Amino acid sequence: MIRFLIKGLYYDKSRSRLPIIVVAIGVMLAVFLNAYITGFMGETVELNARFANGHVKVMTKAYAENESQLPNDLALTEVTALKKELSERFPELDWAARIQFGGLVDVPDENGETLSQGPTTGMGIDLLSSESMEIERLNIRESIVRGRMVQQPGEALLAEEFSRKLGVNPGDEFTLISTTMHGSMSLYNFKLAGTLSFGNEAMDRGSIIVDIEDARTALDMDDAAGILLGIFDTGFYDDERALEIAYTFNAGMDDEDEYAPVMKSLTQQSGMGQLVEVTEKWSVYIIAIFIVAMALVLWNAGLLGGLRRYGEFGVRLAMGEEKDHLYRTLIYESVFIGLTGSIIGTALGLFAASLLQGDGIDITGMMEGSAMLYPSAIRTRITPTDYYIGFIPGLLSTIVGTMLAGLGIYKRKTSQLFKELEA
C-alpha cells in the first residue's frame, strides 16, 4: 500500500508538486528565521554579557543596589582570593575582574596647561596577563583604529571619536581625573597607545580602557574590583545552569552584610531576562505562525485537489473501500509530501543561513544612537535545532491541511456516486 501511494504521488505530479513547493518554502523560511534569531539575538545577548553583564556577575550587595552610579567605594576586596575560590567551585566559568569608573580626561598643551577636557566612562580590565581572555572576549585588537594595543603599564586606549574630539593622538600623554575608592581626588597620567571603535555610540562617545593594575593604582583599589564576571567556557549562555550557580553561591552568604559578595545571573540584570526570554520564545512563535499559514494554504490546495479527485473517490467508495480507509490513505500521502517538502526546505534554509553565518550584513549605520549593545552585523547561527525544526511545521501543516480537506469524504452519499459515474 505504501509503495502504491508513493508511486501515485510520483507519477501524478498535480497531486504532489504544489503541496511540496508550499511546504518547502515554508520550511525554508522557518529554518532561516530560526537561524537568524539564534544568531542575531543570541549575539546581542552574548555581546552584552561580554562587555557588561557576564553570564554571571559577582559584586557586593551594596554595589548591586547602586550599580548605575559605579560606586567603587562599595567594591569587592580581596579579589584574588575570591577569584581563586570561584574558579575552584565553578570551573566551567572563566572569571575576570573589572573596574568601571567615571571621570575626566585632561589633555595638556606644550606648556602643561589644559588644552581640552572631556567626560569619560572607563573600564579597567586585564590587558597584560598572558592567561587573560579579555582582549579576545571584547574584540579589542580588531577594534583598534589607530596606534596599537596596550603593551606596558601606564598606557591606555581611547575611543576613536573621543580622541578626535579631544585632539589627542597615539603617543600623546593625558591625565585621568577621577575619585579613588576612598573618595579623594585622583590624578593619573597615561600615554595613549591607540584608539578603537566598537561600532556602538554609547561606548564610542567617551570610553577609556586601561589595564586593571593601572586602574587599581589610579583609584587606590589594591586587590579590589567593582565586579567579577563569569563567562561559560562554551561561550554561550546557559540560563538554567547560571541560575543554579548563582543560587548555590548566594546560599552561603550573609544577607545582613552589605559588603558581602552576591552573584546574579545574566537574566537577573538590566532587563536582560526579557531579551533572553524573547530569544527563546521567538522560535516557537515562528513555527506556530508557519504551521497555521501553511495549513490554511494546504487546506485550500487539498480542497481543490479533492474536487479534481471526486471521481476517483467515488470509484473507490463504489468498489467497497471504507471511508475511514480512504481518509487514512490521504493522510499517509500527506506524510510523504510533508517529509519530502521538509527535507528540501531544510536544505534550502540551511544553505541560505550559511551564506550569512560568516561576514553577515553590516548594519553599523542602523545602530547609531543606540544605548544598548547590538552586533554591528546581522549574522545567522546554525545550531542542531535547525536540522529538525522545519519538520515540525512541514509535517503538521500538511497533515492538518489534509485532515481538514479530507473531511469532505464523509459527506459523500452512495446515491450520488452512481449519478456521477453515469455522467
Of residues 72 and 309, more confidently modeled? 72
Q: Does residue 251 have a pLDDT over 70?
A: yes
What share of the chain has pLDDT > 70, as a percent?
76
Tens-digit pLDDT profile for residues 99-139:
999 999 999 888 878 888 899 988 999 999 888 888 888 88
C-alpha pair distances (Å), 199 with each of 143, 258, 271, 354, 356: 9, 37, 22, 24, 19
Give mean pLDDT, residues 177-186: 90
Tens-digit pLDDT profile for residues 141-162:
888 899 999 999 999 999 998 9
Give mean pLDDT, residues 249-268: 84
Q: How many helices (H) and strands (E) does the chain have?
A: 16, 14
What is the per-residue pLDDT for 105? 92
**Beta-strand runs (E) in 356-423:** 361-362, 377-378
pLDDT, mean over the chain: 80
Helices (H), 228-322: 239-251, 272-308, 310-318
The grid coordinates of residue 385 equal: 535545532
Distance CA 127, CA 235 (A): 20
Tens-digit pLDDT profile for residues 26-68:
888 888 888 887 777 777 777 778 888 888 999 999 998 888 8
Highest mean pLDDT among 177-186, 297-306, 361-370, 401-410: 177-186
Q: Name the 3-class secondary structure at 292.
A: helix
Pairing of strands 93-108, 173-179: antiparallel
